[in-house]
Amino acid sequence: MKSGTVDIRTRDNQRMGKMRIDKLHEYFQSLMPNKSRMYEQFYEKAWNPANFVDESQTLHEFQGTKEKCVLFSHNPTCPNTQMIQVVADISGVDLEVQAATDEKMPHMYMKVSDGSILTYPEAIIKHIARMNLSSGLIGKTAFD
C-alpha cells in the first residue's frame, strides 16, 4: 500500500499481480456492463436543470420591493387582519387596511401590484414576508 499499489486476486484466488489504485478503478469500470438504451432514454428526460427555477433567485426578486399594499377587509378588527398587520409591521411594509365594500369578494383580500388578488391570509402573509427577506419571517429558499 505504501507504493500506491494493491495486490489483485480473482474469485478463484489466483493472483493477478499488483496494480495502482486508479488503474484498478478503471479496470473495474471496464468490467461493468454498458447501460441499456432504454436506461439512457428514461434518464435523459428525468432531470433537466433548465426545467427548474432556482428558488433562491425567485424569492430574491421580491426582496426590496416597495409596493404599496392595500388590504381590504369586511371586519378590520378580526384576528387574521390583525395578524397580517403585525407581519407587515415586522417586515417594514407599508400596509393600508380599508373597509371592503364589494360584497361579492371574500371577507378579506389584497390586491397585488401585478393585478392579482390574494384571498387567503396565509398567501397574503407570505407575500408580505417575501417583500423583506431580511426580516427573518420567511426563509431565503423554499426549504428554509
Convert the pLDDT of each residue in 130-141 to its tens digit.
888 888 888 766
Contacts of 55 (CB under 8 A, 6+ apart): 141, 142, 143
66 lies in the same domain as 20 = no
Distance CA(117)–CA(52), nearest Å, equals 26
**140 in a structural domain:** no
The answer to whether 133 and 63 have CB atoms below 8 angstroms apart is yes
Q: What is the DSSP letter of 114?
A: T
| The total number of structural domains that make up the chain | 2
The answer to whether residue 55 scores a pLDDT higher than 70 is no
Helices (H), the chain: 21-31, 37-44, 55-62, 79-91, 121-130
With cell 371577507, the residue in question is 107
CATH number at residue 122: 3.40.30.10
Distance CA(99)–CA(101), nearest Å, equals 6
Range of the domain at 32: 5-47
The average pLDDT across 57-61 equals 48
66 lies in the same domain as 129 = yes
Q: Among 1-5, 55-59, 108-112, whose mean pLDDT is lowest?
A: 55-59
1-51 per-position pLDDT tens digit: 577 889 889 889 999 899 998 898 898 889 888 878 887 777 776 766 666
Q: What is the DSSP letter of 49?
A: G
